């Protein structure tokens, strides 16, 4: 699947931080059971790569890696099973690492100038981050005029209540959010609750 195909197959991409490696597989299964197949596992904890390795074995899961900030993380994440990467911003070293590793990258941008700079480097799929502070729906609609060939996954400050407005934008393929994986539900092993949250998120596409 191309990066754009991955984005279009998801209404919401959950942003996941794994604190306990034993939670990785049941969490992935709960999300997939609810219709959320594209999972972004961040490297914000020491268990990130291990979680990617475990979750990528879950049937139906499309696992990516988030919070890529160092060039060496690209090959390690790819080898762990990630099929796409997400970064909060874009630097030349990250561009080089993405190209050398072959890992499709969804880089973060916040301003029109950053969108244009990423576009010049060949990136047509971008993450508006942080989406709400960056201007939210208004910013996306404004950028869509002069740069109609760029597709976004806005992330940062989006909730189940505000997601529909973002998904209604012509240049938005999906949104990123952390509300699908509340820490208290994960800690309690309440996978049924997470599946229900996933079902509600998957229904936003309709």
- The dihedrals phi and psi of 40, each to the nearest 5 degrees, come to -105, 110
Q: What is the DSSP letter of 46?
A: T
Check: CB of residue 29 under 8 Å from CB of residue 57: no
Annotated active-site residue 40? The verdict is yes
Question: For residue 160, how many other CB atoms are within 10 A of its CB?
Answer: 14
Annotated active-site residue 120? The verdict is no
Q: Which of 58, 66, 19 is nearest to 41 (CA)?
A: 66
Max Cα-Cα span within the chain: 47
Catalytic residue among 46, 72, 120, 127: 127
Within 13 Å and on the Cβ side, how many CA atoms surround 132?
9
Rounded alpha-carbon distances, angstroms, from residue 177 to 76, 83, 101, 185: 24, 19, 26, 16
d(CA 79, CA 89): 22
Catalytic residue among 40, 114, 120, 183: 40
Catalytic residues: 40, 127
């Amino acid at each position: 699947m191309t990066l754009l195909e991955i984005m279009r197959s998801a209404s919401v991409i959950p942003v996941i931080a794994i604190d306990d490696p034993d939670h990785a597989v049941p969490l992935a299964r709960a999300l997939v059971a609810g219709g959320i197949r594209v999972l972004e596992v961040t490297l914000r904890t020491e268990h990130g790569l291990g979680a990617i390795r475990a979750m990528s074995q879950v049937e139906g899961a499309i696992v990516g890696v988030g919070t890529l900030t160092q060039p060496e993380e690209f090959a390690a994440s790819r080898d762990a099973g990630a099929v796409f990467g997400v970064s909060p911003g874009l630097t030349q070293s990250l561009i080089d690492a993405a190209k050398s590793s072959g890992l499709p990258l969804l880089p973060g941008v916040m301003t029109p100038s950053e969108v244009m700079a990423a576009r010049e480097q060949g990136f047509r799929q971008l993450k508006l981050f942080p989406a709400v502070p960056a201007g939210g729906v208004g910013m996306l609609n404004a950028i869509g005029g002069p740069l109609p060939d760029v597709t976004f996954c806005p992330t940062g400050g989006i909730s189940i209540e505000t997601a529909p407005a973002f998904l209604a934008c012509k240049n938005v393929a999906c949104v990123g959010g952390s509300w699908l994986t509340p820490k208290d539900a994960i800690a309690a092993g309440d996978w049924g609750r997470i599946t229900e949250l996933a079902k509600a998120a998957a229904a936003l596409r309709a």
